[in-house]
A and B are shown apart, each in its own frame.
Chain A
Amino acid sequence: MEVLRIATSGSVDDGKSTLIGRLLYDTQSIPQDKMEALHAASKRKGLDFTDLSLLTDGLVAEREQGITIDVAHIYFSTPTRKYIIADTPGHIEYTRNMVTGASNAQVSLILIDARRGIVEQTYRHFFIANLLRIPYLVVCVNKMDLVEYSEARFNQIVEDFQQLLANAGFKGQAVQFVPISSLYGENVATRNGAIDWYQGPTLLAYLEQISFDHEDNRHPARFPVQSVIRPRTTEYHDFRGFAGKVASGHFTVGDEVVSLPSGQKSRIKTIEQFEKQLTVAHARESVIITLEGEIDSSRGNMLVKADQVPAQLKEIQAQICWMDQQPLTAGKTYLLQHGVNRVKAKVQQINYVTDVTSYQAVSDKTQMGLNDIGSITLKTAAPVFADSYAENPANGAFILIDEYNNTTVAVGFIATP
């Protein structure tokens, strides 16, 4: 059974939580006791309808303010597919949480209020979906009931959004526009006839037919070593296996591999998954690889195929999203974590900061503040074996960690080589 991961985003009051509530409701995913709790909570708030949005705002502070602060993960299934929705905040000051929620998504769902059309937050959300290269983009024009289900209004918003795509140098992900009313459930999972001029699929029907082409299986093979398994028991006295999750591509028994950074070569003897022996390991599978010869490899190293060796980087150009209250300052040293490998890295310079509403690069910045997105140059203490994010996302992203308080302060997308 496949798992489809969706990140939702929209401006405050676009009806994001209502849409999610509606999806759950229409797929019979809300048990009766939760439904009753929703009725009661809506009544307490003085509402004359059941507020499905109360389902997702899980924190006291969120319910008090009626806004989403942090990512909530929500689950529902259809007979064919399991869905994970990362419901991310719409407020500008929680952009970092939006990136957090979107980083694992295959689908970016952007909500637009039919009355207001494209707003500043739409640019920001689209920018992030584009930066992350999320393969599918679904633009839901919501609250169609409040514009009398106007086809002209919908077409106008689609046109405005197409303009936005053109201006942003959009990388060519699939885009689908759906006119909906979350409140009445129109075009979410069912068609009730109010939007008869729309010929396309409902939101759920569109999600159901998205294909998993597993692009990362076609990328070069990368196996970051998480740990070395050495039981040293009588039965497994000489066993030495490299445990890890295939980041991208695939490995087959007999493949010639190189361990980085040592550069030593060997061949794959076995690929194991608990008591099973596999002949091939695909992207995202957690396995143990054993090799024919004894080579030097340990946590943080990477096994790659001998004919697909990644670049060895000591200077990295990357787009980053800064996520800390304390600004990024050129010249400061951080810990760079690329997969399971950590190295020290110094910020050589801030190349530019992007205005995510106009897409203009501002190049005279010496600092990057919370939620800023821009390009920096890093110098690392040891080589990092990475691909560019554009060519292989699974081996092209990293985080920066503040050495003094240990928090994750940035996410980076490698632009070089």
Chain B
Amino acid sequence: MTHQINWEFPQALEDEAIYILRETAAQFEKPVLLFSGGKDSITLVRLAQKAFYPGKIPFALLHVDTGHNFPETIEFRDWLVNHLGLDIIVRNVQDSIDQGKVQEETGKYASRNALQTVTLLDAIEEGKFDACIGGARRDEEKARAKERIFSVRDEFGQWNAKMQRPELFDILNGKINIGENVRVFPISNWTELDVWNYIRRENLRIPSIYFAHEREIIERDGLYWPYSPYLNTTAEEVPYRQKVRFRTVGDMTCTAAVLSEADKLEDIIAEIMEAKISERGARIDDKRSEAAMEKRKQAGYF
């Protein structure tokens, strides 16, 4: 059966997200917005702009740069920050490696995705951030489906699924002990399609890798991996040029591409509606085990 495309964005979701952002700014001393350069964090920036307009966004962005990002994402990040006059803090996974706090993975599937948790936790501690606003959505993954809007983490950044605070109506309790922090998820109730419809409605700019373009790829495990100096390839894995786009933006070592001709938002939305693979189906980091995300969340991943 073919889906009927609904282009309409459910307005209730924006009102809810703005309310959550205002609560975060009011209840915490030093919130920060976790910015990856992907569509969800771009949406968060727009929502924050709306929540405090005509005032400025009252918190900085924090980008944990793995060093293996798509160059297009970094270029976009710098443009956005500049264009909107935002404050940004960048922390590098490379520094954590140089300090001997984490070790680079080896082998064919080596990725820095798991390493960024340590850099993030260090940045939170150094910056004394008591609230980290993230663009995670409950529809992405089943461990995320269990997340509260205000999700308390202990001083090791750990999420305790069995001991989550009850969260009732829209009454948000952001009281925490020193050393703890809260992860805030204003777009918890949005789906991938909601985000795209919002980007379309708001006419937001996004990194070019979301649109179909020709690039070097290799095929591995039935997925199209972007070819880059960071990818450990075998002799049989020969890169070739192919027209692709990305549905999510993570590291170049853990985000697979999809074959696509969609070069404008309407085509992307139509393509998602018809897609047979879920959004995170192209996230290699989730494929490590059935509980990959839950384990990373317990360790302090956002």
Chain A positions near chain B (C-beta within 8 angstroms): 1-3, 28, 31-34, 37, 41, 55-61, 63, 69-75, 77, 79-80, 82, 84, 96-97, 99-100, 103-104, 226-227, 229-231, 233, 235-236, 239, 241, 243-245, 273-275, 284-286, 288, 299, 323, 335, 337-340, 397-399, 401, 405-408, 411
Whether A79 touches B4, Cβ cut-off 8 Å, given contacts A337-B171, A399-B173, A408-B165, is yes
* 18 sampled A-B residue pairs with Cβ under 8 A: A31-B281, A32-B276, A33-B277, A37-B290, A57-B142, A58-B141, A59-B294, A71-B146, A74-B138, A82-B10, A227-B26, A229-B52, A239-B54, A288-B53, A340-B26, A399-B173, A401-B175, A408-B168
Q: Decide: A1 and B145 in contact? CB cutoff 8 A.
A: no
Residues in A with CB closer than 8 Å to B49 are 274
Q: Decide: B146 and A397 in contact? CB cutoff 8 A.
A: no
Q: Pick the residue among A69, A77, A96, A406 that contacts B173 (CB under 8 A).
A: A406
Overall SS of chain B's interface: loop
Q: Decide: A3 and B294 in contact? CB cutoff 8 A.
A: no
Q: How far is the CA of A31 from the CA of B279 in the complex (A)?
A: 9
Whether A299 touches B26, Cβ cut-off 8 Å, given contacts A59-B143, A229-B52, A406-B177, is yes
Residues in B with CB closer than 8 Å to A82 are 10, 191, 194
Q: Pick the residue among B1, B193, B291 that contacts A60 (CB under 8 A).
A: B291
Q: How far is the CA of A267 from the CA of B277 in the complex (A)?
A: 54
B51 within 8 A of A: yes
Residues in A with CB closer than 8 Å to B281 are 31, 33-34
Q: Decide: A398 and B171 in contact? CB cutoff 8 A.
A: yes
Q: Pick the residue among A1, A229, A405 that contacts B9 (CB under 8 A).
A: A1
A-B contact count (CB 8 A): 171
Residues in A with CB closer than 8 Å to B142 are 55-58, 72
Residues in B with CB closer than 8 Å to A56 are 142, 145
The 4 closest A-B pairs by CB, nearest first: A58-B142, A32-B276, A406-B175, A31-B278
Q: How far is the CA of A197 from the CA of B142 in the complex (A)?
A: 38
Q: Closest chain A residue to B18 by CB distance?
A: A286
Q: Decide: A73 and B19 in contact? CB cutoff 8 A.
A: no
Report the minimal beta-carbon distance from A236 to chain B, rounded to whole angstroms. 5
Residues in B with CB closer than 8 Å to A397 are 168-169, 171
Residues in B with CB closer than 8 Å to A230 are 55
Q: Decide: B143 and A231 in contact? CB cutoff 8 A.
A: no
B88 within 8 A of A: no
- Cβ proximity bits B30-66 to A, threshold 8 Å, 1 near / 0 not: 0000000000000000000111111110000000000
Residues in A with CB closer than 8 Å to B56 are 231
Report the minimal beta-carbon distance from A81 to chain B, rounded to whole angstroms. 9
- How many residues of B sit at the interface, in one of the four size bands? 35 or more
Q: Decide: A285 and B15 in contact? CB cutoff 8 A.
A: yes
In this complex, which of B49, B139, B177, B275 has the most chain A Cβ atoms within 10 angstroms of its Cβ?
B139
Residues in B with CB closer than 8 Å to A37 are 290
Q: Decide: B146 and A227 in contact? CB cutoff 8 A.
A: no
Residues in B with CB closer than 8 Å to A104 are 169-170
Q: Decide: B173 and A411 in contact? CB cutoff 8 A.
A: no
Q: Closest chain B residue to A30 by CB distance?
A: B278
Residues in A with CB closer than 8 Å to B3 are 28, 79
Report the minimal beta-carbon distance from B155 to chain A, rounded to whole angstroms. 14
Q: Pick the residue among B4, B25, B169 that contacts A103 (CB under 8 A).
A: B169
Whether A70 touches B176, Cβ cut-off 8 Å, given contacts A56-B142, A235-B54, is no
Q: Decide: B162 and A231 in contact? CB cutoff 8 A.
A: no
Q: Decide: A227 and B22 in contact? CB cutoff 8 A.
A: yes
Q: Pick the residue among B138, B161, B193, B294 that contacts A77 (CB under 8 A).
A: B193
Whether A61 touches B173, Cβ cut-off 8 Å, given contacts A72-B145, A84-B189, is no
B95 within 8 A of A: no
B114 within 8 A of A: no
Q: Decide: A231 and B19 in contact? CB cutoff 8 A.
A: no
Residues in A with CB closer than 8 Å to B10 are 1-3, 82
The A-contacting residues of B in range 130-152, CB under 8 angstroms, are 138-139, 141-146
Q: Pick the residue among B4, B25, B175 that contacts A227 (CB under 8 A).
A: B25
Q: How far is the CA of A103 from the CA of B148 in the complex (A)?
A: 13
Q: Pick the residue among A71, A75, A286 that contacts B22 (CB under 8 A).
A: A286
Report the minimal beta-carbon distance from B115 to chain A, rounded to whole angstroms. 23
Whether A286 touches B15, Cβ cut-off 8 Å, given contacts A34-B278, A274-B53, A299-B26, is yes
Q: Decide: A243 and B51 in contact? CB cutoff 8 A.
A: yes
Residues in A with CB closer than 8 Å to B22 are 226-227, 243-244, 286
In this complex, which of B49, B188, B194 has the most chain A Cβ atoms within 10 angstroms of its Cβ?
B194
Q: A236-B54, A337-B173 are in contact. List 12 more A-B contacts (CB 8 A).
A: A32-B277, A59-B161, A71-B146, A72-B138, A73-B145, A74-B138, A75-B139, A79-B4, A82-B194, A231-B55, A244-B22, A397-B171
